[in-house]
Structure 1
Amino acid sequence: MNMRTNTTAPTNAGSRAQERNRLPVWRHPVVVMAVVLAAVSAAALALGMPIDRITQIAIYTLYAAGTNFLIGYLGLVPFGASFFFGCSSYALAIASGFWGGNEITGVLVATGFSVLLALVIGALILRRKGLYFSLLTLACSQIAFEIAYKWTAVTGGENGIQNVPRPLFGSALSFHAFTLVVVLALSWFLWRVAHAPFGRLMQALRDNEQRVTSLGYDVYATRLIALLIAGGTIGAAGGLMALLLQGVYANNLNWQHAGDPVLMAVLGGVHQFLGPLWGAITFIVLEDRLSAITENWWLFFAPVIIVMALLSPEGIQGFLQRFGKRPRWTLTRHRIPARPSHIPPYRPLDAGGDESQTVLSVQNLSKRFGSIVTQDGISLDVKRNQLHSFIGPNGAGKTTFFNILTGFLLPDEGRIVFEGRDITRLPAHRRARLGLARSFQILSVFPNLSAFENVRVAVQAARRQWRGFWRDAYTCEEANARVWSLLDAVGLADRAADVCAELSHGEKRLLEIAMTLATSARLLLLDEPLAGLAESDRQIVATLIRRLASSHAVLLIEHDIDRVLALSDRITVLHQGRLIADGLPAAVAHDPQVISAYLGDSGTAVAAPARIARADAASEPAQAIPTARALLQLDQVCAGYDGGTVLDGVDMTVYAGEVVALLGRNGVGKTTLLRTITGTLHATAGRVNFDGKDVSAMRADLINRLGISLVPEGRRLFPNLTVQDNLKIGARDGGAPLDEICELFPKLRVLMRSRAGNLSGGERQMVAIARALMVPSSLILLDEPFEGLAPAVVHEVREAVAKLTSRASLVIVEHHAQSVLTMADRAYVLVNGKVAFGGSAKGLAADTALQERLLGVTTAGPEERSRETA
């Protein structure tokens, strides 16, 4: 089997992060917090300042930390965290008045009451998220303020509750010491939870709710538990504040103070564990100093916040990091478990069961969106240990079918039976727990977690570690070994420590496949797993999928027809919501309905999709183009991210009226080069000249107005707007009118009123190209324009792209070299951020040995060639 089994030591950034997992004691953030608070306390005593002010800083640090637990780790912004802070203060004061007690029991009462409030209120408000959650917490806080202010018999109304006793720590200094102990203990508790399996699950949920659900996690329960933890922490802070003031007042519940903890977290840095500490110190000190000068102290404080937000989005800690190293998030350790000296090869876990049994049975399934029918009476069975491909043209309803199977959509009619159980109405996360795992057509990963952590969260789901609150997530050696095997199987072991957002598109696709495999499910639903991969990676993944089918049921959506025919045991074809063919690959390949529907050409076999060459390529000499005017010139361009180098001395020229193919393996810098040309990433060295002007340091919008348009990878439409609105947003004088767009893409004429989010992948690509044409451009950059498209749609898009040459020069990035070399005049190949080839596209197309060396293009492996298609 052709698998990547690189077991040598990792290099570069990955090796620096793969150290011992435990931090030195002196670098532990809670130890740093203790040192800072102790130093500030000592300074206050030495200068004769009231120690109560430092106690208030410590309390507000805990208050902001509990709030930031929801913001930084979970992505929920509670504008009304004061609800828990203020209500817990009243709970302590009222309880001490009725039953007595001391400071310790008082803090426990405040914490317990706040947890109870979080349970009751959270069960309601967590039905909503985002802005609605924020406003609901604010509404709760304001309701509590009105009650506290007007229920005089219980709360004391405007005068509050006074003379709260402090029997154990009567002096300011002793209570200060008690407060520091409580604050540090609870901060350490939050740090432990953040590194436990539950804390890592929170961070994954912050990044991608859909993916978390598909792995089998209960999103609602996760958010509720997190709210209980945050509510309890904030409640403890509220109890301490009541003891500090020896009284409770309604003012803390007012909307004017509801945003204080959020402000402190933002000031210090919401993605920094110590951010609440720096934010609390800054907030209290500035409030104290400025309010002593003027009553309108906010007029001076607000500009400080504005300047900090503009200069350092990561807050004070992010600003401090700039003096030492590149800013990064510090919510958890920036490390992963050490890479083993030998990574065991990945072995699929046997799903078990009789091969003749049906794993999934779909019976008369139907789904409509208004007048659009996406599934019309679909019935099919998927057997064990079988690779069952589910194909059809773009817009046929394949991904919608997967969404119905996995519970993200409910059918209008029909039944879904999995392993003998009716799951038609079962929630998505419970279906995943039963053994349905899926990948997504549009990449679905956790961008702010490392590659290792992405897979580890999936392994955690497979091991049913839903609620680990205490032990470190990285202490399970068996799980770590499984993660390393999966990463090595898809060739990402060397990138394990890198944040997912820094990976190339192809590497993210490989990572998503590893996450899907990690679930060890009985049925794998793979939605275009080969899209966006270079040929060498496509062979690896195809072989891996075939291997999985020997122990699992696999239902595959894929547009690479050659591989579908070579790998599949059975093929089902969907067209316009209805099944038109189902059977063995050879029979389906020659079915006239399939040929007509899928390829749009009744005279062409499925196994031989047509190629469309540029219309004028044959009549124009290859050497004539370079005599034209140089439109774009890159001279020794270097660029990268966060101090790293991706492009290293790139020279490139695009002439007026030509088509240039930009090729290379995944991760070599193709998309980075396009970003550098368009100005979304500035070059660190070298020059980018367009039409005689140096645009190296120019803003992206100004470069676009000069005449450079980008059709981005992944389309990036506005999903809630119609097709017409998406086009109008990009329209400017001099661009193509709508009538011309509709002549180029006739299908868009009937889709103008459709929401972009409801379009198929091919339809979205048409809109993305059309949007670029609405801008007057002399250079159009197309990033993977044929990715994930059915052959018939590729045919249509390629014809449209060929027509674009009459309007502008083109630079086309495409992972499949042969599909773009036939329509290009010249080609550049990047290898490790450098230009390894620049010359005739026709010459590169004819030199298979050169392609093999530069692009890793190989013929089908022996396993694929030997598979029967009959």
Structure 2
Amino acid sequence: MKVRSLSRHPVLWVAAVLSALTVLWLGLGAPVSLVTQIAIYALYGVGVNLLVGYTGLVPFGASVFFGGASYAAAFLLLSGVGNEFAALALSVLFSILLGLAIGAIILRRKGLYFSLLTLAFSQIAFEIAFKWTSVTGGENGIQGIPRINFAKDTSFHVFVVVTVVVAMWLIWRLAHAPFGRVLQAVRDNEQRASSLGYNVYLVRLGAFSLMAAVVGYAGALLTVMLQGVYADNLSWQHAGDSLLMTVLGGVHHFLGPLWGAIAFIILENRLSALTENWWLMFAPVLILFALLSPEGIHGLAQRMTRRQRWTLTDNAIPPRPHAIEPYESAALAIDATRPLLETRKLSKNFGSLVTAREIDLQIRPFVLHSIIGPNGAGKTTLYNMLTGVLPVSGGQILFEDRDITNLPIHARARLGISRSFQILSIFPNLSVFENVRVAVQAQRHGLGGLFFDAHGITALNDRTWSILDAVGLVERAADLGAELPHGAKRLLEIAVTLAIDSKLLLLDEPLAGLAEADRVVVADLIKKLSEKHAVLLIEHDIDRVLAISDRISVLHQGRIIADGKPADVAKNPEVVAAYLGASRGSEAQVRPTVERLSRVPESRLLDAQGVAAGYFGSTVLSGVNLAIHEGEAVALLGRNGVGKTTLLRALTGSLPPTAGTVTFNGTTLNGLKPYQINRLGISLVPEGRRLFPNLTVLENLQLAMRPGGIGIAEVFELFPRLRTRQKARAENLSGGERQMVAIARALVVPSKLILLDEPFEGLAPAVVSEVMEALVKLRGKIAMIVVEHHAETVLTIVDRAYVLVNGAVAFEGAARTLAEDHALQARLLGVVQDDASAAVARQAIA
């Protein structure tokens, strides 16, 4: 190890700081026991930070182990167990067993419930210690505990400092060991860690038990130091002391608990000498740190030196090899003549809602098999069943002829089923290299090795470099996942998906939010991967799906309506109907024809120029221009995933545009809050209605009413059905009635423009007719933007239409023009049938 690196080693800092404090205290003639206490509480905080910083679990009651081991050490020493060393060792063993018992119970819960359960166990222990006077001494505790090997405080102090430094070194090694790296992966993204094959519950139980061991050792040391033990350390008043020290020092920094312990104990010692109400003076210090430096004392020091980063681990990665071995797939050995995965009558329902209906599907090796379908078809539900995220309601899932229907997520991953997610799922606070390495480790090494360096395992490193090279991320290996641009994050997610020796890749919208150049790169990579794996792809970019897929299955309303080669699927009448909403019998009667505006009004109400927006660095909208005039009805059309809802969110301020300007009635909306935009006269009718379920129809409307909006009487005239349902709670309404309330809620405020996001989704034809009639009555009185998946449903009642393709406007013009041009509809909204049509669609975007 280089001298420069050694000087920065955190454990060396622990030794140096505790030694310096010792020399200072002895020089001042002060009792060294205060520094001993600092060392003990620093270790106590480091143990707690093993959960908080490395796994994301927050224990409010770690004192159950601190106090429990304190009593265990006292009982052992009083029973003549031998000496302090034996008592300390047995106290740690007791603490581990207690940690396993408590952890097995409370780790079934997360978040606040986990935190409160730890506090509950601590309080139970306090009640026992405080009231079982005959055994524990009650309020007076147990005193006069012998200290056989350390007659002087100085010799015991040296022992404490040495063992605390050693313990911290072991924890530092643990953080860099295979097990420790998995802890950090679980902290960052539990779902992703589970999808790689890690049993998250057992990982957390191991971390919880290790925390118990470290905290228990600190508690036992305190008993030996005080030569007594008291119930106060178990009480709720002191249960959070260690957590407070950790947060004060810096929860994302290895040395944070040390700085926190020093500040807390010295301030407590000095302030309590001045007043018994010392918390009145200490609490403002905590408030200031919480407001000004959430990363604590360590974070404040980093801010002053402008080098802010987490220091829970080294930020280095293993050296890049001179020659990187080419990536080889584990799937090459499988039998290409047999289906790799098969579903038989696979079904899923949520109560009365059926999202998958007896799906029969075969996925073969070395085939790029795509799943497409309109919004709500059940595509992601299918993936969640295949990977074990959702239990099935009926049917079977077979993988390599093995029934895996009831296997948990991590067990399926170990068989070679890996997936990417619709919303990017990586480990943001791990380096690009570590993102992939921890995935490789899941299949090839597991959790083995508690104290040797995970980056020293050559075979895992070599495999990691091979995968990074395959996806083109070698040069970004040292970057944090969170710092990558969106396109690189997609490549990283695919790399993580490959890393578990995958046989079947389930890719859920890997092109979502990518710029065109990134789409080309990722699509080419997926096509190459299908030559060495089985690939099941969900994607909304239909043009590209048709271009790269070997086979396509189409889901609609939870069932497969077509399956075969891309050219055959694109021509299937049922598929065309699913995408374009072709008239079928009774549906024709719910599409009234209205007299459209003869010319576009001169008064422009809303003007959006060059609007770009996305999520977490992605690009969903790119340079969108949109104009709405007073009293005008406009349809916003496009396939699912092209950015229609994103555009509505950008217009209402819930998703601030990253570029471009939006003006409404002469006022620039950029930078305004959603409620400010609403008060200017823009109201959103969201997809899914989003009513207040426990309020009645009337209460939902009254809550939204403002002067200038329509009155309740006008609402009932517009939607007569609501008059009889006005006292019904929203949760008891039908889907159509909820939609009527949602539209009425947007009208009872003084709206000049209402944005309707999929207002006809999931409604019966008769209800669609009622809603449409209401919208027709509103024409000319209020401007409307209607987002709709099926063009034929809405084009008859609007004046103009915009069509989005991959986040850009591909068509802008009269609704009549689009309604009469079925070929244009097919190109922009349906399943593209040939390369020439795809080229036309792309030219429309350019």
Which blocks of at least 5 consecutive residues in structure 2 are unaligned?
585-594, 611-615, 637-645, 719-724, 736-740, 757-785, 815-834, 840-846
SS of equivalent residue, structure 1 residue 447: coil
Q: Partners in 2 of 1:754 and 1:504 — Cα distance?
A: 42
Q: Partners in 2 of 1:241 and 1:210 — Cα distance?
A: 39
SS of equivalent residue, structure 2 residue 329: coil
- 1:162 maps to which residue? 143
Q: Does 1:416 align with 2:417?
A: no
- 2:528 maps to which residue? 547
CA spacing shift, 1:797–1:396, aligned 2, 3 Å:
closer
1:178: Cα distance to partner? 0.7
- 2:548 maps to which residue? 567
SS of equivalent residue, structure 1 residue 378: strand
User: Does the 8 A contact of 2:70 with 2:229 survive in 1?
Assistant: yes
- 1:638 maps to which residue? none
- 1:306 maps to which residue? 287
User: Does the 8 A contact of 2:11 with 2:169 survive in 1?
Assistant: yes
- The TM-score, its normalising length taken from structure 2, stands at 0.76
1:816 aligned to which of 798, 802, 806: 806
Q: Partners in 2 of 1:215 and 1:774 — Cα distance?
A: 50
Q: Partners in 2 of 1:540 and 1:576 — Cα distance?
A: 32
Percent of counterpart pairs with the same letter? 55
- 1:528 maps to which residue? 509
1:192 aligned to which of 165, 173, 187: 173
For residue 379 of structure 1, what is the amino acid of its counterpart? Answer: D
For residue 36 of structure 1, what is the amino acid of its counterpart? Answer: V
Q: Does 1:497 align with 2:483?
A: no
**Structure 1 residues 278-357: aligned runs within 5 Å:** 278-339=259-320, 346-357=327-338
Q: Partners in 1 of 2:152 and 2:672 — Cα distance?
A: 62
SS of equivalent residue, structure 1 residue 796: coil
Range moving further from structure 2, 594-603 or 544-553: 594-603
Range moving further from structure 2, 353-362 or 83-92: 353-362
Q: Partners in 1 of 2:216 and 2:291 — Cα distance?
A: 32
- 2:450 maps to which residue? 469
- 2:248 maps to which residue? 267
SS of equivalent residue, structure 1 residue 86: helix
SS of equivalent residue, structure 2 residue 333: coil
User: Does the 8 A contact of 2:122 with 2:234 survive in 1?
Assistant: yes
Q: Does 1:128 align with 2:109?
A: yes
Q: Partners in 2 of 1:418 and 1:246 — Cα distance?
A: 62
Q: Does 1:399 align with 2:380?
A: yes
CA spacing shift, 1:399–1:689, aligned 2, 3 Å:
closer
CA spacing shift, 1:646–1:137, aligned 2, 3 Å:
closer
CA spacing shift, 1:87–1:446, aligned 2, 3 Å:
same
CA spacing shift, 1:774–1:114, aligned 2, 3 Å:
farther
User: Does the 8 A contact of 1:88 with 1:236 survive in 2?
Assistant: yes
1:368 aligned to which of 345, 349, 353: 349
For residue 811 of structure 2, what is the amino acid of its counterpart? Answer: T
Q: Partners in 2 of 1:286 and 1:273 — Cα distance?
A: 22
Deviations 1:483-530 (CA, angstroms, capped at 9, x unpaired): 344344444444433333333444333321221122221111111222
Q: Does 1:381 align with 2:362?
A: yes
CA spacing shift, 1:699–1:358, aligned 2, 3 Å:
closer
Q: Partners in 2 of 1:448 and 1:716 — Cα distance?
A: 34
Q: Partners in 2 of 1:617 and 1:463 — Cα distance?
A: 67
- 1:24 maps to which residue? 5
1:468: Cα distance to partner? 3.4
Larger Rg: 1 or 2?
2
CA spacing shift, 1:310–1:676, aligned 2, 3 Å:
farther
1:778: Cα distance to partner? 9.6
- 2:440 maps to which residue? 459
Q: Partners in 2 of 1:805 and 1:124 — Cα distance?
A: 59
1:182: Cα distance to partner? 1.2
User: Does the 8 A contact of 1:523 with 1:554 survive in 2?
Assistant: yes
User: Does the 8 A contact of 1:125 with 1:133 survive in 2?
Assistant: yes
Q: Does 1:796 align with 2:789?
A: yes
Q: Partners in 2 of 1:717 and 1:508 — Cα distance?
A: 33
Q: Partners in 2 of 1:185 and 1:201 — Cα distance?
A: 23
Q: Partners in 1 of 2:319 and 2:702 — Cα distance?
A: 49
Range moving further from structure 2, 118-127 or 225-234: 118-127
- 2:217 maps to which residue? 236
1:81: Cα distance to partner? 0.3
- 2:191 maps to which residue? 210
RMSD across aligned positions (CA) = 5.4
- 2:52 maps to which residue? 71
For residue 296 of structure 1, what is the amino acid of its counterpart? Answer: N
Q: Partners in 2 of 1:346 and 1:774 — Cα distance?
A: 61
User: Does the 8 A contact of 1:448 with 1:501 survive in 2?
Assistant: yes
Q: Does 1:390 align with 2:368?
A: no
- 2:832 maps to which residue? none
User: Does the 8 A contact of 2:543 with 2:838 survive in 1?
Assistant: no
Q: Partners in 2 of 1:351 and 1:861 — Cα distance?
A: 33
Q: Partners in 2 of 1:653 and 1:780 — Cα distance?
A: 18
CA spacing shift, 1:424–1:699, aligned 2, 3 Å:
closer
Q: Partners in 2 of 1:32 and 1:334 — Cα distance?
A: 17
Q: Partners in 1 of 2:23 and 2:528 — Cα distance?
A: 65
- 1:786 maps to which residue? none
**Structure 1 residues 686-701: aligned runs within 5 Å:** none
User: Does the 8 A contact of 2:580 with 2:790 survive in 1?
Assistant: no
User: Does the 8 A contact of 1:339 with 1:484 survive in 2?
Assistant: yes
CA spacing shift, 1:394–1:319, aligned 2, 3 Å:
same
- 1:90 maps to which residue? 71
1:802: Cα distance to partner? 11
For residue 189 of structure 1, what is the amino acid of its counterpart? Answer: L
1:154: Cα distance to partner? 2.5
Q: Partners in 2 of 1:444 and 1:730 — Cα distance?
A: 38
Deviations 1:520-551 (CA, angstroms, capped at 9, x unpaired): 21111111222222222222222222222222
Equivalent residues, number? 758
- 2:763 maps to which residue? none
SS of equivalent residue, structure 2 residue 68: helix
Structure having greater relative contact order (Cα 8 Å, sep ≥ 6): 1
For residue 526 of structure 1, what is the amino acid of its counterpart? Answer: L
**Structure 1 residues 28-67: aligned runs within 5 Å:** 28-67=9-48
- 1:576 maps to which residue? 557
**Structure 1 residues 491-640: aligned runs within 5 Å:** 491-601=472-582
CA spacing shift, 1:629–1:446, aligned 2, 3 Å:
same
Deviations 1:651-684 (CA, angstroms, capped at 9, x unpaired): 999999799x9xxxxxxxxx9xx9999799999x
For residue 816 of structure 1, what is the amino acid of its counterpart? Answer: N
Q: Partners in 1 of 2:692 and 2:364 — Cα distance?
A: 38
User: Does the 8 A contact of 2:70 with 2:222 survive in 1?
Assistant: yes
